[in-house]
Amino acid sequence: MFKEINATEIKDNIINLIANEWALVAAGTEQDYNMMTASWGFMGEMWGQDCVATVVRPQRYTMDYINNNDYFTFSFYGDNKAIHSVCGKYSGRDVNKTEKANLTPIFNYNSVYFAEARLVIVCKKQYVSQLEENGFLNKEILEKWYNNDLHNLIIGKIEKVLIKE
């Protein structure tokens, strides 16, 4: 079903993947997990490692799972925006997003991802910190995107990259 490749073998344009295809960020265990749609983030080299960075607002339910687990996944689903219409709209506190989005969870590599993905990036947390107002040199960003709910920045070392065969 999935084949492992090296991060440098990802053929997709990373900016297009994140900005237009969107990702699911998921964390947790077989007993308890959650996921959410993410359309902000980046990939590259950090601290001598291939890394993924994403941002999650502190009030998001998925942030609890990221905080309580060492691994998270960043996965992509092609044109299937129906997944994101569920995972970007509803909270796992209120609904079973796995059932509502017709997802099939796979528990492997210390985290959760979904059989419907075409590309899965398994990450080990390296850094988590909340963005700070005084770090924004362009105050227009604060005015446009925030209302006292600055994102947490999460950087993960890429442990595995899986592509659908």
Listed as ranges, residues in the chain with pLDDT below 70 are: none
In whole angstroms, what is the distance from residue 61 CA to residue 63 CA? 5
Q: How confident is the model over 111-158, as pLDDT tens digits?
A: 999 999 999 999 999 999 999 999 999 999 999 999 989 999 999 999
Residue whose tokens read 């709209």 = 89
pLDDT number for residue 148: 86
pLDDT number for residue 48: 97
pLDDT number for residue 62: 97
In whole angstroms, what is the distance from residue 75 CA to residue 116 CA? 10
pLDDT number for residue 84: 94
CATH of the domain at 53: 2.30.110.10
pLDDT number for residue 53: 97
In whole angstroms, what is the distance from residue 112 CA to residue 157 CA? 16
Domain count, the chain: 1
pLDDT number for residue 51: 98
Q: Which domain holds residue 85?
A: 2-164
